[in-house]
Amino acid sequence: MDMTARNVATDTVTPATRHLRRSWCPVTRSARRQFLRRSLVITIGAALSVPGPSMLLAADPQPGPTCPATNPTFTAVPTISSHGSGTLQAVITVRSGTRNVPTAAGSPKTPAVLRYFSGYEADPTYEWPAKTSADARPGPTLSAEIGDVVHITLLNHVKLDDFPGTFDSGEQGIGCDQGTTLAKNGTPDPNRYPFKDKYPNCFHGSSSANIHFHGTHVTPSTTGDNVLVNVRPNPSVTEADVKEYFGQIFKSCKLGEEPRTWAQLPHGWTDSDKNPKSQKNLLIHYDRTAPYVGPGRNPDGHGLPPELQLWPQNQLAITNGIWPQWYSGSYPYCFQIPRYTEDKKDKAYVKMGQAPGTHWYHSHKHGSTSINLFNGLAGAFIITDTSPTGYDGMLRAFYKNTDLKLKQQVLVLQQITNVLNMLSATGGGAPPLLVNGELTPTITMQPGEVQLWRIVNATVQNFVNLQPPGSAATAANSIQFKQTAQDGVQYDFKNYIKPQNGTTAINMAPANRVDLLVQAPTTEGCYQLNYGSTPPGTALVNVTVTGKAVSMGFPTADDSTKYPPMPPFLADIEPADIRLRRDLTYGATKDPTTTDKRAWQFTIDGKQFQDQVINQVMLLDSAEEWTVYNSDTLSGVRHPFHIHVNPFQIVEVFDPTNKSVTIDPQTGLPEVQRPGPPYIWWDTFAIPAPVQLKAGQKCPSRVVDDGTNKWCSGYFKMRSRFADFTGQYVQHCHLLAHEDRGMMQLLEVVTDKTILKHH
């Protein structure tokens, strides 16, 4: 055997992980089952984008003759589209392998083993990323029209033995990933990960997968945007193995009959004894053979103890009419993207349609969302309305007779790495911000050209502050932009034409999306769209402006009839419609036994995510107003709040840290901001951080006393309608390590016919 040293550095990358269902977890089987059903995660909220005069920044352009040839060319990610057929069909596979990742400008890419999405529509020949390339890329862009049915075959082909300590490798019966660390030259580190973290609110189970369709208004149950399912890796399961069965499921979905019970799924895929690759047989095989050396081990170190086995948990769920959580190798996603109609007699009538816009998809399993997105498991999901009065139809029509038609660019922002800092002995700096897998790529435009840029912040923890043109900028010498949508929901015309639009910074929290009409300067040269906390910032992309000048422009205040009208379901939620008001508080607590920051616990309403606890129950089709506080006086960060399924409108913000807002003489603190109607829709909004109160200041928000100082919490107030879909889903912090470590709540939307059972 060749015993020469191999550079295994390119072989493996993942934090050691243990999965949710280990004996370390002192919960009952029922409790575990309950948790497993819920163990998905949610996304975050966007940063404050209520226009404020202080957000005006001065980044004067510094055009150069040409963009540096050393910068990579912008990579347009291929799109899998429904092509007007009414059905978006795709096979998405979670793969693992060595990918090349930019780490610094001017340096060669660094190889690292990562998990990543690949996908194709029908012919694997056209799979993206192509097998001939090893560059790290987002998954393929998905594109569908509202009203379409989505059929996605998910395959999980992660190679477990390339990753250390994932849940069916070397199980020690602990439940959380472990970092075994030598602090310095052999001194043992008693504080190695998981340190104070406890299952299930710790990093674990990193090779399991599912897909969250972030921003969609679809069912959170069964084969919809169901982040409670957990698809174990199994490379032996191929598309051919499931194609016939999934075809039957997809056919039913197309007819509007999405599966509601396990029994409605094809027997051959679910619990057939004859098919060796039925879910029953695959899970039983895993239960019998998985490496396990925890309590109750078998002599050979294989086979799970009964209380940890997966198939019995599924069986119990099925018996109780609950959608089972565990799958091996494959899962069928099928759901309809609702098109709003005012005809209440229409079979497809919904109170909230899907907002057409820039959405995205990503892996969303509790305990591994952060490492999975750090690996790059994300892609854009563009939902269009090309009807004559739709968002896309109107924008395209506006540019129909200009020199160029409106071209679209999709920019997926990511930070790629293979190791979580908490699992390493040395920590490390933040990875660079990549655009479609490249560091500061170059986009080429013609002088004066307008393009629609759809930007997705798919990073784990990076607030991206897009810089506006500087005060001396002109259309001749600077990139101009106008925002047309936030988080996949279009701007009302009245918001679009506000003078702040295009002149103030746009702060994108992790998970936020923005649509920008971007206009190239009329003078040829190299320009930058910058980001950063202070101007001029760092170049996100270079733009080479070259070629024939074209006449295009933005819709102006005179173009109200040419700008996409707001669909009726996106009208403001009026105060009279509010059924219930409730408060939520994001916070953090210390462990009294240590000063180590790694022991901080991130909580909502004082608690971490809990088994068997539904934290909020909302009535179907009702509207509510939530005030969401940030009382985290430890980390002092903005926590991006995200909720699945339904977007919300921000009606009030108090940011005590915002130095650009006028000081309220009554409080001595920044004024409470009330942007006024029409309100902007979001699905992720960063809760402003608290400040320490000074003498004479009167906090208009919740006061937190940490025993030494008093703090004034930041907050926002939002209104949302829990429309059309019952079921369980989550709200959580979209700083995804916080979500993995417990900053999440389980929600349920119920009808007034629901009988709540007492447990």
Partner 1 sequence: MKQNWRIDIDEVPGEGTAFNPSTVTVAPGDLVFWRNNTNTAHQPVATPSPPDWQVGEIPGRQPAFPDDPSPTSGTVSFAGTGTFAYICALHPNETGTIIVKAPSS
Contact residues: partner 1, CB under 8 A: 1, 3-6, 8-16, 101, 103, 110, 112-113, 159-166, 168-170, 172, 177-189, 192, 236, 285, 289, 291-293, 300-302, 417-419, 423-428, 431
- Minimum distance from CB of 236 to partner 1 (Å)? 6
Tokens representing residue 130 in the block: 């192509």
Residue number, 183 or 580, with CB nearest to partner 1: 183
Preceding amide of 678 cis, omega within 30: yes
- Minimum distance from CB of 438 to partner 1 (Å)? 16
Residue number, 428 or 575, with CB nearest to partner 1: 428
Residue number, 170 or 553, with CB nearest to partner 1: 170
Residue number, 300 or 706, with CB nearest to partner 1: 300
Instruction: Give the C-alpha separation, 132 to 115, whole Å.
Output: 17
Residue number, 397 or 419, with CB nearest to partner 1: 419
Contact of 76 with 442, CB cutoff 8 Å: no
Contact of 623 with 577, CB cutoff 8 Å: yes
* Sequence-separated (6 or more) residues with CB below 8 Å from residue 387: 393
Residue number, 9 or 130, with CB nearest to partner 1: 9
Residue number, 168 or 625, with CB nearest to partner 1: 168
Tokens representing residue 87 in the block: 């059905």
584 forms beta bridges with 628
- Minimum distance from CB of 207 to partner 1 (Å)? 10
Q: 310-319 and 29-38 helices cross at what angle (nearest 10)?
A: 80
Instruction: Give the C-alpha separation, 112 to 431, whole Å.
Output: 13
- Minimum distance from CB of 18 to partner 1 (Å)? 9
- Minimum distance from CB of 328 to partner 1 (Å)? 12
Tokens representing residue 9 in the block: 């550095």
- Minimum distance from CB of 597 to partner 1 (Å)? 17
- Minimum distance from CB of 614 to partner 1 (Å)? 34
Residue number, 291 or 565, with CB nearest to partner 1: 291
Residue number, 11 or 239, with CB nearest to partner 1: 11
- Minimum distance from CB of 426 to partner 1 (Å)? 3
For the four alpha carbons of 228, 629, 495 and 486, in that order, the dihedral sign comes to negative
- Minimum distance from CB of 169 to partner 1 (Å)? 4
Residue number, 187 or 319, with CB nearest to partner 1: 187
Contact of 353 with 146, CB cutoff 8 Å: yes
- Minimum distance from CB of 17 to partner 1 (Å)? 9
Got the DSSP string for 703-736? EEE-SS-EEE-EEEEEEEE--S--EEEEEEESSH
Task: Give the SS3 label for residue 577.
Answer: helix
- Minimum distance from CB of 41 to partner 1 (Å)? 23
Instruction: Give the C-alpha separation, 211 to 140, whole Å.
Output: 13
Instruction: Give the C-alpha separation, 79 to 90, whole Å.
Output: 10
Residue number, 231 or 497, with CB nearest to partner 1: 231
Residue number, 109 or 644, with CB nearest to partner 1: 109
Residue number, 53 or 188, with CB nearest to partner 1: 188
Instruction: Give the C-alpha separation, 451 to 481, whole Å.
Output: 9
- Minimum distance from CB of 189 to partner 1 (Å)? 8
Got the DSSP string for 391-435? HHHHHHHHTTTSSSPPEEEEEEEE---SS-GGGSSS--PPPPPEE
Residue number, 374 or 716, with CB nearest to partner 1: 374
- Minimum distance from CB of 174 to partner 1 (Å)? 8
Tokens representing residue 629 in the block: 């506080």
Instruction: Give the C-alpha separation, 496 to 556, whole Å.
Output: 9
Instruction: Give the C-alpha separation, 606 to 743, whole Å.
Output: 10
- Minimum distance from CB of 300 to partner 1 (Å)? 7
Which phi and psi (to 5°) does residue 393 adopt?
-60, -45
* Sequence-separated (6 or more) residues with CB below 8 Å from residue 253: 149, 151, 223, 259, 334, 335, 336
Contact of 460 with 737, CB cutoff 8 Å: yes
Instruction: Give the C-alpha separation, 699 to 578, whole Å.
Output: 26
Which phi and psi (to 5°) does residue 8 adopt?
-75, 0
Contact of 116 with 137, CB cutoff 8 Å: yes
Give the number of other Cβ atoms within 10 Å of residue 406's Cβ.
Answer: 18
Nearest alpha-carbon partner for 245 in 226, 222, 264: 264
